[in-house]
Structure 1
């Protein structure tokens, strides 16, 4: 670790007096190893970057014996640090991350009783909370892998408690929340499941569309603003310069737009509109929303649920539940009609599809209705047959959008859900990339997974969990190279949003979005990758994060 860099950091910002020579740039980032893509390879140019009006004005190589440092108002000496295109998370839940950070943290809990203890502590620390929300439990990490039940939540408070599973595709609610929502033993909903005790009473667990039965007060505008700013600070500290939010209602999109106009929220966001017949009609009338920091021209659909809660829609029954195929969130007829409408609008259709049945249907539908170069996306593309993988790419430029840490989070139990015979079709990232013509946008799905993009890089290339298991890597034949993964976190993510002429590379004319490290991400020892810290994060020509010495 080049520790002397941190000791020097201020970062040697040198202001040039107004009576000095005329300047060409607002700021020059000097003496950096600048990452450049050449196909699937990455190399470094030792040089300087001149930035003006938030964009890259010029990249000038250092030439021995010559002063190639461009004049500027300010110069930042990076002292030989490694500068990468600003990292982009191609699939996340930005607002959801902030809300999760301000609720009961259930990540990593090793039992339901540990979750309950955390809820109890949160209630004591937040006596004024009107609704107790939490997120992060995962029954697959507990002895017996059994779903939780509401019994242990009784008596903790007279307020509603709603605790989301790690993937957001299931919740457990206390009896107060269930009664306020009118959920009884007779309640049913298409595309969702309500779990019951042997006597027929609800256990409190609601899966996929059943979550919509809850009628609990949503976070206030003040809470949502706080959540957005909390998420922004977290993203900047980890080197993220842009995020694709995978589904927000119009109300939240309008709030983000307002905060960006006011200068409170500065992170650029590509936001998918959460689909509904009403949303399709509204945005057809409004048209796309495009500013320097906000891009809205896509809809987020759901074809199925999640594998961990057995909501992923499979073509054959679950290996560990032989009477169950998963859940179809929306009818095929509805999605066909919606696809035609989205195509007529010239928007993107981005669909959550995890199970092989859900992927098969959506890819068939995309091939039938997607215009050329539509870049319609399959979000997750988790279990896709070899025949269906070949549907990606082509003249329609159909894209898989994947999250490598899902593979390493699921690997210890996925075979129980799927059976060994289906595993070759699961988490096949390299094969998906090849089918899509060498394009594979990468994200995390935070807050389902950790925000840190270096965890994405590590999981995509090593196919290991953070503790280093398995030593040989999980289905290592589908690992990406580091250059391929870095491209997926930058250029490919930009391409998936039609933004490749704006960001995703370090090139003249593009936004000056940079993620800077003291270490070379190509040669750093594998096990050190998740441990590295960002030196600086730049967004549109402004330094938004600097590591403390």
Structure 2
């Protein structure tokens, strides 16, 4: 069926092609014309924008749809500040869920508690009152599990990361998580994914990178969310994070054997792999991928024709992965390696020498600026785990951008909220001012950067001939340089955030208020 042509008139357009444009023609999914409203060509439909701002739509370059949907409709624990508050929240929520089912909760962060000791498996069992309880920590790299949920995981006591307290990490967490998510019916899973994608569209997000893989989700879960792509919802680019799984990733419809392919864990759970020990715990974390394994994986991805990539947060993990890039470069040449636009997720603790190697090998940094807003600075979780000096070196996003590292911004939802303007603000005003970047550059990493990271070059700008993929915004705080005012002025007042009124993907409206 041929879609009607549409003129979007009486708006303001963030476009280098015509910064003064007030109207845009969309025909057959592409931008057919851009210019003054008085000169607009005829079209089947005219939409009066009423002075609203039109920008390229956002891309969330790291998301978990099922978890995001469950968190949106489930138990939000981000506000609890003690074990007692957590148990009260679980008990109240459990009463709304059927006996015999699983209570899914997310977002507790013990680093914000005065007494940083979570409740035990037995206490959770009592709070669940006949329901198994699974509560993912803010990083989603550990979780609290009730006694009955642990009992449902055969042999869990012998799995690395198990603890009798019910606070499970890494492999033990993956096992518990598989049982908890496996309790969902196919219809429940699809409903959660649909809820997440609708939420994304309502925030001006037209595409997401779904990061899946063994331990994170399942093949059935991955296939389910890929099937929703573009069906009146954002486009989904799938990443399957399995070491040596390039062929399987391609079979599953993924664009990459990347994303949540864990080279290490997370700082919040003290499992990110570090060169120097944690300040508040023994050891240097967990390393899951050697340089040789990383190199072999990248070579397999090059042979199969998919992107390769890794989750790497700590400096030791990032160094091992980059050593793997060097191995691959020696085998096939730097130019061929760079063609793949392979990626590293998170890249939180990285120094100048490693940043230079990112540039050399053409590695995309898929990063989450809001991590710094939540946990950075001299007095938050990073400082607890690493000490102030190392904490202030984390997430050097502006420094990476300044020397030419390709950036793509994401939320890692539900780890942080699906709020793309928050990512722009966090990158433009980081806790360490040495890592600032302009609002314009941060916006580019949140839009065109996400498309490029998925290998798509013709989306992400408002230019005639390009895809008509955009969002329409109300801008209550006004405009500055063609974009909404986002940062506080000299008076320190925090501006009101833009409000999404419409999101369009390849000419099709996927959200309209």
Q: TM tier, shorter chain?
A: 0.7 to 0.9
Q: Distance in 2 between matches of 1:69 and 1:496?
A: 34
Q: Who is 2:432 aligned against?
A: 475
Shift of 1:529: 4.6
Separation of aligned partners in 1, 2:486 and 2:362: 35
* Gap regions ≥5 residues in structure 1: 1-22, 196-201, 290-294, 464-473
TM-score by length of 1: 0.82
Larger radius of gyration: 1
Query: 1:8 corresponds to which residue?
Result: none
Aligned counterparts, 1:123-272, within 5 A: 123-128=94-99, 130-156=101-127, 157-183=129-155, 187-189=158-160, 193-195=161-163, 202-214=164-176, 216=179, 218=182, 219-248=184-213, 249-260=218-229, 263=231, 266-272=233-239
Unaligned runs of 5+ in 2: 330-336, 489-493
After TM superposition, the structure 1 = structure 2 runs for residues 281-300 of structure 1, keeping only pairs within 5 Å, are 281-283=247-249, 286=251, 289=253, 296-300=255-259
User: Are the counterparts in 1 of residues 313 and 347 from structure 2 also a CA contact under 8 Å?
Assistant: yes
Structure 2 length as normaliser, TM-score? 0.88
Partner of 2:419: 452
After TM superposition, list the pairs within 5 Å mapping 1:325-474 onto structure 2.
325-369=284-328, 371-394=337-360, 396-411=361-376, 412-437=380-405, 439-463=406-430, 474=431
Deviation at 1:37, TM superposition (A): 4.6
Runs of 4+ in 1 over 6 A off after TM superposition: none
Question: Aligned residue for 1:58?
Answer: 33
2:84 is the alignment partner of 1:117:
no
Per-residue Cα deviation, 1:120-158 (whole angstroms, up to 9, x for no partner): 112111125622221111111111223442232132323
The match for 1:199 is: none
**1:69 and 2:40 aligned:** yes
**Contact 1:183/1:213 (8 A) holds in 2:** no
State whether structure 2 residue 281 is matched by structure 1 residue 302: no
**Helix, strand or coil: the match of 2:44?**
strand
Aligned with 2:471 (options 512, 515, 518): 515
On the 8 A contact 1:94/1:243 being kept in 2, the answer is: no
Match of 2:453 among 496, 502, 507: 496
SS at match of 2:449: helix
1:48/1:141 CA distance change after superposition, 3 Å = same
Q: Name the residue aligned to 1:526.
A: 487
Question: 2:118, 2:289 → 1: CA distance?
Answer: 25
Query: Which residue of 444, 463, 468 maps to 1:487?
Result: 444
> 2:511 matched to which residue of 1?
545
In 1, the alpha carbon distance for the partners of 2:267 and 2:382 equals 8
Distance 1:297 1:358, change over 3 A: closer
**CA distances 1:147-174 after superposition (whole Å, capped 9, x unpaired):** 4422321323233211111111001111
Does structure 2 retain, via aligned residues, the 8 Å contact 1:28–1:74? yes
Q: Is the 8 A contact 1:386 1:425 kept in 2?
A: no
Compared CA separation, residues 274 and 536, structure 1 to 2 (3 A): same
8 Å CA contact 1:271–1:298 kept in 2: the answer is: no
Contact 2:264-2:271 at 8 Å conserved across structures: yes
C-alpha separation between the residues in 2 aligned to 1:258 and 1:380?
27
Q: Distance in 1 between matches of 2:22 and 2:133?
A: 55
Deviations 1:55-113 (A, max 9, x none): 21222235xxxx31111110111122211101111112123211222332212211122
Structure 1 residues 148, 481: closer, same or farther in 2, change over 3 A? farther
Alpha-carbon separation, structure 2, partners of 1:330 and 1:147? 30
Do the aligned partners of 2:346 and 2:365 also contact (CA within 8 Å) in 1? yes
**Counterpart Cα distance in 2 of 1:523 and 1:48:** 19
Q: Output the CA distance in 2 between the equivalents of 1:88 and 1:252.
A: 21
Moved more, 251-260 or 110-119: 251-260
Q: For residues 429 and 296 of structure 1, what CA distance do their matches in structure 2 show?
A: 25
Q: 1:93 & 1:313 partners in 2: Cα distance? A: 23
Q: Report deviation, 1:362.
A: 0.8
Deviation at 1:333, TM superposition (A): 4.5
Instruction: State whether residues 246 and 304 of structure 2, in contact with CA within 8 Å, keep that contact through their aligned partners in structure 1.
Output: no
C-alpha separation in 1, matches of 2:119 and 2:268:
14
**Whole-Å Cα distance in 2 between the matches of residues 350 and 85 of structure 1?**
26
Secondary structure at the aligned position of 1:543 is classed as: strand
Deviation (angstroms), 1:499? 1.0
Residue 414 of structure 1 aligns to a residue whose secondary structure is: helix
Separation (CA, whole Å) in 1 of partners of 2:224 and 2:159: 33
- 1:28-49, Cα deviation, whole Å (9 max, x unpaired): 11122211259xxxx8332311
